[in-house]
């Protein structure tokens, strides 16, 4: 499963992350934009 981070105004891809084998339930992004925490039913 890939998580993509898009610029909302220009709709350009900023970055992407790979890790979960199933759907992501939630995401929390640090104010700096450097860190993100996701939750899923898998253990990735």
Rounded distance between C-alpha atoms, residue 13 and residue 39, angstroms: 22
Each residue's pLDDT tens digit, 23-33: 888 889 899 98
pLDDT band at 12 (very low <50, low <70, confident <90, very high): very high
Instruction: Give me the residues paired with residue 5 across strands.
Output: 15
**Under 8 Å CB-to-CB from 42, ≥6 apart: which residues?**
20, 21, 22
- pTM of structure: 0.52
Average pLDDT, the chain: 83
Q: Name the residue ranges covered by the structural domains of the chain.
A: 2-40
Residue 4 pLDDT:
81
**Under 8 Å CB-to-CB from 8, ≥6 apart: which residues?**
none
Q: What is the DSSP letter of 34?
A: S
């Amino acid at each position: 499963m890939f998580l993509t981070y898009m610029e909302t105004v220009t709709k350009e891809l900023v970055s992407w992350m790979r890790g979960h084998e199933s759907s992501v339930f939630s995401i929390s992004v640090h104010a700096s934009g450097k860190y993100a925490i996701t939750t899923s039913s898998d253990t990735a």
